[in-house]
Amino acid sequence: MNRNFPRFPNNTFITHKKVFLIFIILICECKNILSQDIVESTTVKETFLNNNRGWTLSNNFTTISIDGNRYIINFNSSATWNSRINIPNDIKNCLLNDDAKVSFDLQLLDRNGAMTSGIGLVFDQIREDYNVIYLGEEAGRIFSSIIPRRDNAFRKPIKDGRSVKFQSNTTYRITIDRKFNNYRVFINNSLILSFAHKEDIQFNSLYFTTGKYAISNLVATKSTFVTEGNDIGEEKNFDPSKHNTFILLAGVSNYPSTDYPPLNSPILDITSMRNFWLSTTGGSVPWQNISFFPEQEATVRNVVNSARKIANKATPNDVIIIYLTGHGYWGGYYCCYDALLPYEVLNDIIKGSRAKHKLVIVDACFSGCVKNIITPPTKGTLSDESLTTMFRFSVSMAGPNTSYLMSCSSIEASYDGTNGSNSAFTKGLLKALNDRTDRHSGYIVRLSDVYSYLTKYFQKWNQLHASEEHLQRFTVNGERIEKLMPVIMNPQLVSENKNYSLPLAIIN
- CATH architecture for segment(s) 31-225: Sandwich (2.60)
28 pLDDT exceeds 50?
no
Least confident piece of the model among 109-113, 178-182, 334-338: 178-182
Average pLDDT over residues 442-464: 91
- pLDDT grade, residue 415 (50/70/90)? very high
Q: What is the pLDDT of residue 79?
A: 52
DSSP-derived 3-state class of residue 423? coil
- Which CATH class for the 232-506 domain? alpha beta
Q: Residues 6 or more apart from 302 whose CB is under 8 A from it?
A: 250, 293
Q: What are the residue ranges spanned by the domains of the chain?
A: 31-225, 232-506
pTM for this prediction: 0.58
Average pLDDT over residues 403-428: 92
Question: What confidence tens digit (pLDDT) does each residue in 132-162 have?
Answer: 888 888 888 999 888 888 777 888 887 788 8
Are 29 and 44 a contacting pair, CB within 8 Å?
yes
* Per-residue 3-state assignment (H helix, E strand, C coil) for 218-287: EEEEEEEECCCCCCCHHHHCCCHHHCCEEEEEEECCCCCCCCCCCCCCHHHHHHHHHHHHHCCCCCCCCH
Are 188 and 166 a contacting pair, CB within 8 Å?
no
Q: What is the pLDDT of residue 263?
A: 95
What residues form DSSP beta bridges with 325?
Answer: 251, 363
- Residue burial 47-80, b: 16+ Cβ < 10 Å; e: rest: ebeeeeeebbeebeebebeeeebbbbbbbeeeeb
How many C-alpha atoms does 93 have within 13 Å on its Cβ side? 5
**Is 232-506 the same fold as 31-225?**
no
- pLDDT grade, residue 16 (50/70/90)? very low
Number of neighbours of residue 204 by Cβ within 10 angstroms: 16
Q: Cα-flanking dihedrals φ and ψ of residue 315, to 5°?
A: -100, 175
